[in-house]
Structure 1
Amino acid sequence: MVTKEEVENVVKAVVDEKFVKSVEVNEKGDVAVTLAKDTPNIDDVLIRLNAELGKIGGVGTITINREREMKAEENAELNKDMILEKLKEVIDPEIGVDVVNLGLIYEVNVRPDKTVYVKMTMTTPGCPLTMWILRAVEDKVLEIPGVKDAEIELTFDPPWTPDRISPEYKKRLGLY
């Protein structure tokens, strides 16, 4: 079982301690790290942190959040359709299709505290753009008025297949 101390040591080796807002490890070994919104070189930090945490034995799901401020529109009505529509703006650069029509989004929930949870996958576990796409999804969700925070979970269960592509895009891509 992974310990909080092991996780904290890896986090401190990757990112300056002053930018680490919290580190949490639950009984299943799931890790949640929250970084300051002004963390420098955030893309590099996210990639390195995810890779290094993944090397620790016993680590389950890795969630890396960035600190957020609540937007002025805190009473805005949020719903799943609104979020999915916004996520259509995230295009997989290798395929040229948005993450919704590509079938990468498995689940979307709006929690009572206005945190949006997105469970998603990649076309392959070794996708070189994984961290870029995850960040783009998080950024798009956080652009929606009234969203307090975004939690993006990456899963490969079930694995993605071309069957998940929307019928409209299957036609566009010549898949039927």
Structure 2
Amino acid sequence: MVVTQTDCPARIVPAGTPVTIPKDTFVTITQSLGGNYTLTWHGQMVRVDGTDAAALGLEAEKLSFPPAETDEIVETQVWDALRTIYDPEIPVDLVNLGLIYSVRIDQQAHRVDIDMTLTAPGCGMGPVLVGDVEYRVAKVPNVETVKVELIFDPPWQRDMMSEEAQLATGMFY
């Protein structure tokens, strides 16, 4: 159990609805994977991004980029942000899991459109993962809007995982 040090942004699990946990609130940390935290707050499960961990009195995950030299979005920075997002049940990032199908950048609108999938269409953590992607990619310089589309065609298969991810999960074949 910890006490929030400041107002703490969170998302309700599994809906992904944003909420703010007020300062000086007791919460119970039930899980910490991939730098994110799952908490129990008022009998409800919520997820706090690791970049906001200082609000829980913990060391915040650093997600920083060099200052932008232009007003354009740098695609490699978008992919770097995506590599910091881990599946809540598997300690592997979404890129290495093969869950990110495409990234499209509209430089004029300062928008990033992402097509992604889940390991299973019925995964209850889908809205939370979408929220994680939106939250982290929005931290990339010059990104004003992030739109994530969950798609299931083609369906995810374990051979979409990187070799590193297959080894880490024991799914290498």
Q: TM-score range by the shorter chain?
A: 0.5 to 0.7
| Equivalent in the alignment of 2:142 | 146
Cα drift, residue 74 of structure 1: 9.6
**Structure in which a larger fraction of residues adopt strand:** 2
> Which of the two has greater helix per residue?
1
Check conservation: 1:77, 1:146, Cα contact below 8 A.
yes
For residue 110 of structure 1, what is the aligned residue in structure 2? 105
Matched, 1:47 2:42: no
Q: Give the aligned partner of residue 79 of structure 1.
A: 74
Partner in structure 2 of residue 171 of structure 1: 167
- Residue 161 (structure 1) aligned with residue 157 (structure 2): yes
Normalising by structure 1, report the TM-score: 0.57
Give RMSD over aligned pairs.
Answer: 2.7
**Distance verdict in 2 for CA 1:115–1:46, change over 3 Å:** farther
CA contact (8 A) 2:114 2:149 kept: yes
Kindly indicate whether the alpha-carbon contact (under 8 Å) linking 2:118 and 2:126 is maintained by their aligned counterparts in 1: yes
Counterpart mapping for 1:94-133 below 5 A: 94-112=89-107, 113-133=109-129
Q: CA deviation at 1:80?
A: 2.5
Contact 1:116–1:151 (CA under 8 A) maintained in structure 2: yes
Instruction: Single out whichever of 78-87 and 91-100 deviates more from structure 2.
Output: 78-87
Count of residues paired in the alignment: 114
Aligned counterparts of 1:90 and 1:48: Cα–Cα separation in 2: 15
Task: Report if the CA contact (8 A) 1:47-1:131 is conserved.
Answer: yes
Relative to 1, partners in 2 of residues 1:124 and 1:79: Cα closer, same or farther, differing over 3 Å?
A: same
SS at match of 2:114: strand
Aligned mates of 1:115, 1:171 — CA distance in 2:
34
Gaps of 5+ in 2: 1-8, 18-66
| Partners of 1:141 and 1:147 within 8 A in 2 | yes
**Whole-Å separation in 1 of the counterparts to 2:118 and 2:158:** 11
Query: Is the 1:74–1:145 contact (alpha carbons within 8 Å) kept by the matching residues of 2?
Result: no
Identity of aligned residues (%): 37
